[in-house]
Structure 1
Amino acid sequence: MEFEGPGIVVDHAFHGEGDLVVTLLTLEGLRRGLAKGGASRRQEAIWQVGNILAARWTARLPEQLGAYSAELVRPAAALAMQQPESLAVLRAACQLAAQALPEREHAPESFKGLLRLLAGIDISGFALAELCRWELVLLRELGFGLDFSSSAGGNDRLAYVSPRTGRAVTLSEAGEWVDRLLPLPEFLLGEGKPDPRGCLAALRLTGHFLTRDVFGVRHRPLSPARQALYERLSLRLEEKDGGDA
């Protein structure tokens, strides 16, 4: 058995003294394999979480762990080190992919979306908003897509999402239920530019459905790196509000 193509390192774990068990997200889904010597000085830079690789996986039988060899295409992990927020986004996205997606099941849209995010990880102001958009793709590919298809006219607009159904509702539809609804940032609808507050609202929105529908059914919490990113952004905005007061 053999697979060859682009892959994203979403997780790795030490195996023995110098090897790694590496999890890549590919067009064919998550796939684990043994990287012999992956923890060595010569190879460790290749297998950093977030890196984009040209990978080859081989095994005698499809159910075996198999072995990886790879060439580094884009050192996203090193590029993200330049900006703390970008590094936090990279860790959150990769951990989310590793924990949310089923192994060896095709997830082409999640792969393409994460590839786009990591390709621009060093662009200032890009990664956080792109993570929010990617989480919508991830939810949809896992079968829990949100419904933004409701129509709005005149001065009315889609502004909230029902936390129960995942359907977007307009300002006029919200009515007295507004306090029970999740705000829908305009940039998720392709309108306006994302800002930190909009991204925080988007992370709250997608986080609700990831927690309930993806992780909750497995009796597990939302991935720690994703929770930490939300808390980091929330604290930053609270401190800004305090400084402006």
Structure 2
Amino acid sequence: MALRASRTYVAARSGSRRILEWTGEGLLIGVRRHGETSVIAEAMVLGKGRYLGLVRGGRSRKQAATLQPGNSVQLVWRARIEDHLGTFAVELLQARAAGLIVDRTRLYASQLLTEHLRLLPERDPHDRLLMETVRLLDSPADGMALARFELLLLEELGFGLDLSSCAVTGSSEDLTHVSPRSGRAVSREAAEPYKDRLLRLPAFLLGQGPATPQEVADAFALTGYFLDMHVWHARQIDPPPMRETLIEILTR
């Protein structure tokens, strides 16, 4: 189910108070308890980016099925001031949790995708990543597609790799490796003397045909290296715990 763009940001009034409000569609990526009865929900919203909001009564049985990461929802966000956390009113658009629970590989893929989205800055639209996440959630788990997603994630975070041409020769032909220092591609000939110090570049990341399990593993090693250098290590956080298990499953 495709998401629709958020409605125009409006200001409403409640008595004498000015209330900020918008309505949009998005993907739930996290939920945590808040107080005795409420939760703080985290969502990627089309046209608005990663938003958090308080859901009053979110721990009730009535809300439990809706407030599951991976579900598509309609959100109404309200706050008195733009910088406030605000509240969410949540309506379910598409439930995925039940289908994911019975498929371990898809469940791990869903968890990895939502963890990756949580790396994005708040309130900064990344619609390309959001729509690709929705597409992957509604498809069988695919190692090639997930590795490409991580490549896109690096790009959206500002750490994109340059795989267009060789860093040494400038050639766009026969690119087989990536420099761990510059993130630029290296051709087979130029890589030969240094290939033990370079990262492998699977051809499928360049749009060249299908991949073997080893090539999928190489792709995850490539994206994982730069995610660790620029994101996980830099922010002093651990990689998503299900990532290695998922890679093992997808590269058998």
Q: Same fold (TM over 0.5)?
A: yes
1:174, CA displacement in angstroms? 0.8
Q: What amino acid is aligned across from residue 61 of structure 1 in structure 2?
A: I
Bigger Rg, which one = 2
- The yes-or-no answer on 1:51 pairing with 2:68 is no
1:210, CA displacement in angstroms? 0.9
2:82 aligns with 62
Q: What amino acid is aligned across from residue 226 of structure 2 in structure 1?
A: F
Q: How does 1:80-159 map to 2 (within 5 A)?
A: 80-98=100-118, 100-120=119-139, 123=140, 125-126=141-142, 128-150=143-165, 151-153=171-173, 157-159=174-176
Q: What amino acid is aligned across from residue 71 of structure 2 in structure 1?
A: N
Q: How does 1:63-78 map to 2 (within 5 A)?
A: 63-78=83-98
Do the aligned partners of 1:196 and 1:233 also contact (CA within 8 Å) in 2?
no
Q: How does 1:229-240 map to 2 (within 5 A)?
A: 229-234=243-248
Q: Identity, % of aligned pairs?
A: 36
TM-score, normalised on structure 2?
A: 0.82
2:204 aligns with 187
| CA–CA distance in structure 1, aligned partners of residues 250 and 219 of structure 2 | 16
Q: What amino acid is aligned across from residue 243 of structure 2 in structure 1?
A: L
Structure that is richer in helix per residue = 1
| CA–CA distance in structure 1, aligned partners of residues 211 and 114 of structure 2 | 22
Change (3 A) 1:229 1:217: closer
| CA–CA distance in structure 2, aligned partners of residues 235 and 84 of structure 1 | 10
Indicate the SS of the match to 1:148.
coil
Q: What amino acid is aligned across from residue 96 of structure 2 in structure 1?
A: A
1:235, CA displacement in angstroms? 7.4
1:199, CA displacement in angstroms? 2.4
TM-score, normalised on structure 1?
A: 0.84
1:20 aligns with 39
Within the candidate set 192, 196, 216, 2:213 is matched to: 196
Change (3 A) 1:192 1:70: same
1:178, CA displacement in angstroms? 0.8
Q: What amino acid is aligned across from residue 7 of structure 1 in structure 2?
A: G
1:221, CA displacement in angstroms? 2.9
Structure 1 residues 171-208: Cα deviation after superposition (integer angstroms, max 9, x where no partner): 11211211111111222112212443332222111111
1:113, CA displacement in angstroms? 2.2
RMSD (Å), alpha carbons? 2.0
